[in-house]
Structure 1
Amino acid sequence: MALLLTRQDVEMLLPMSEAMAAVEEAFRQLALGQAVMPLRSAIPVPAHNGLNLAMPAYIGGDLDALGLKVVSVYPDNPTRYNLPTVIATVLLNDPRTGAPLALMDGTWLTAMRTGAAGGVAAKYLARPDAEVVTILGAGVQGRTQLMAACAARPIRRAYVYDALPERSRTYAAEMAPKLGIEVIPTEDLERAIREADIVVAASNAHEPIFPGAWLRPGTHINGIGSHTPTTRELDTETVRRALVVVDQREAALAEAGDIILPIREGAITEAHIHGELGQIVAGQIPGRTSPEQITLFKSVGLAIQDVSTAARLYRLARERGVGQEIPL
């Protein structure tokens, strides 16, 4: 018997604090050498402008969790089918036997664990007094990234910018009362970048959204939206100016156009990558070293985030009697 957890179950069980705790521990175990995680396998579906990904991982140590996420990324879904861009399912296995423990909706889990990674990065890299965040992209990721930023820092105001202004207005109307902060939809991108303590790029853009010269000293950037070698949300100047931290070096150098393209241009080398977020969490390398430093966390998303969050969800579901037992 396996436990089936629906989208509704996942939303009910998983606050951002739990997601951030799970993801932070996953990054720590990765840095300690306790994770087995192949690079994701990708199947392009060009006829439908889609991408299908398989992401397995085993995390040892105190987590001792085994699982697999299958995730589809279809940028046309919101406008053509009224579906999310990202749709996912997670299978959690018993690491002792390999038997299935749970099958759960991975779409909201993915949104939350990705937001949580941004929150953990802000916890270790953003200035402690960061109060203003600018969100680039008013989609699901923009929402969970703001939730996580508010959990990590004393945020009092957020700007939201989207290529479709109506999306920004809807976002602001939803998120301001939800988080109890001022959320301002804006079309003045330069002002939003120049005033930000934290900038989160969580869009579907294939080209840089803003010039790096707009960033003021002390800004922290989370680069979340792009995850292929030929696309990027951040320009070369942004990457060149920043202390660059990645989720995993191997994955970033294989998949993160925000890093790969500046290397190809000759603007930086691989040595420009300061290290991995887990190394900072584990105390192996320093994070921010001055209030004026510009810091950048570039994430392509790792299977350890999914598996650690799924394991946390499974434990919470068992404790609270949530979910449906199903024979397989």
Structure 2
Amino acid sequence: MRVLTKKDVQAVYSMKDAIADDKIALAAYSKGDATVPLRTNIDIKPDNGQSLYMPGYAAGKEPALGVKIVSVYPNNIDKGLPSVPATMVSLNPKTGIVSAIIDGTYLTQLRTGALQGAATDLMANPDAKVATLIGTGGQAPTQLEAMLNVRQLTRVYVSDIDKDRAAKFAQDMTRRFGKQFKVEILPAVDLQKAIRASDIITSVTTSKQATFDAADVKPGAHINGIGAYTPQMHEIPAELVKQADIVIFDTMDGVLAEAGDMISPLKNGLVSKDQYSGELGQLINGDIKGRDSHDQITLFKAVGTAVLDVVVAEKILQAAAKADKGTTIDL
């Protein structure tokens, strides 16, 4: 069994790798080549937390099997701890024996950032230059990194309910990515103005109300809803769901079971189910159409799926084994 820390993963596996492998995973899922039960969510009400268990299996030439144990504790940010702590357990699909334990917190951040990166790559206008990132928690750095990897952005605004945290995040990310990607990263002093200027909008929050106004979204914008993952969460405006020309999910079953910002417009009759175009894997496989006009508003909604975890974890394990990274343990 190989134990891999965040540093071990970073040494052998990049965001570009993760974006490519997320596409492979979602294509397999939409083809029916994966077994992914809906995750089990346990509310930990006294501590404002949730514990989630996400098993999955992907078939094919390079099968992958595993389970991720992940929790969402928003108050951890104030404690200097990850708000989404997690551990990934990979198993050998041929024997069922545990083959790796991987830092699931970083894996979650990486594969979720890459999921948005894959959607942005496939759905946003090629000439997108300005973006807004809403939410500066543990997921935010890889969300930003993914956008920067798939589009030549010149400016990114960052917004958070805590203005000081947004300002610090912008400074930290400027040091980390500014020179590498030749991008200006600024706190969104005026969020409305930032949204109106943005070609790409990514919201990664657990907000129970919309994090921006649909009326401020310009023609041709691409929006990613990455944070809300329960029926009570509504970070994407309902009016935007109605307004969007193309609405694509990571998984149809997952989003319609868990994402309040997509469930409520459907339940309230604001949209009909046929306005939800399908899955990103179907777009990758050529089974549905994506953007065909510069002025179309496109929307991607994700709640996450274990197929991403098991595939990315298996690819990380292969790369780590080849480079002899991590700590090996004989059981």
Task: State the TM bucket, normalised to the shorter chain.
Answer: over 0.9
Q: For the Cα contact (< 8 Å) 1:26–1:304, is it kept in 2?
A: yes
Post-superposition Cα deviations, 1:76-133, rounded to whole Å, max 9, x if no partner, equal: 1111x32111010011111111111101110011001000000000111000111111
Q: For the Cα contact (< 8 Å) 2:206–2:229, is it kept in 1?
A: no
Give the aligned partner of residue 215 of structure 2. 213
Q: Which amino acid aligns with 1:52?
A: S
Q: For the Cα contact (< 8 Å) 1:240–1:268, is it kept in 2?
A: yes
Residue 283 (structure 1) shift: 1.2
Equivalent residue runs for 1:291-306 within 5 Å: 291-306=294-309
The unaligned stretches of length 5 or more in structure 1 are none
Q: Which amino acid aligns with 2:184?
A: E
Q: Alignment RMSD, CA only?
A: 1.1
Residue 171 (structure 1) shift: 1.3
Equivalent residue runs for 1:135-150 within 5 Å: 135-150=133-148
- Percent of aligned pairs with the same amino acid: 41
Return 173-182 or 144-153, whichever deviates more. Answer: 173-182
Which whole-Å CA distance do the structure 2 matches of 1:61 and 1:133 have between them? 36
Give SS of 2:19's match.
helix
Equivalent residue runs for 1:241-252 within 5 Å: 241-242=243-244, 243-252=246-255
Q: Which amino acid aligns with 2:222?
A: H
Give SS of 1:51's match.
strand
Post-superposition Cα deviations, 1:247-276, rounded to whole Å, max 9, x if no partner, equal: 111111100111011112210122221010
Give SS of 2:8's match.
helix
Which whole-Å CA distance do the structure 2 matches of 1:47 and 1:162 have between them? 25
Q: For the Cα contact (< 8 Å) 1:137–1:203, is it kept in 2?
A: yes
Which whole-Å CA distance do the structure 1 matches of 2:81 and 2:206 have between them? 15
Give the aligned partner of residue 46 of structure 1. 45
Q: For the Cα contact (< 8 Å) 1:92–1:310, is it kept in 2?
A: yes
Which whole-Å CA distance do the structure 1 matches of 2:322 and 2:117 have between them? 26
Residue 216 (structure 1) shift: 0.4
Aligned with 1:222 (options 221, 224, 231) = 224
Give SS of 1:140's match.
coil
Give SS of 1:187's match.
coil
Give SS of 2:231's match.
coil
Give the aligned partner of residue 154 of structure 1. 152
Which whole-Å CA distance do the structure 1 matches of 2:63 and 2:287 have between them? 22
Equivalent residue runs for 1:228-239 within 5 Å: 228-239=230-241
Give the aligned partner of residue 12 of structure 1. 11
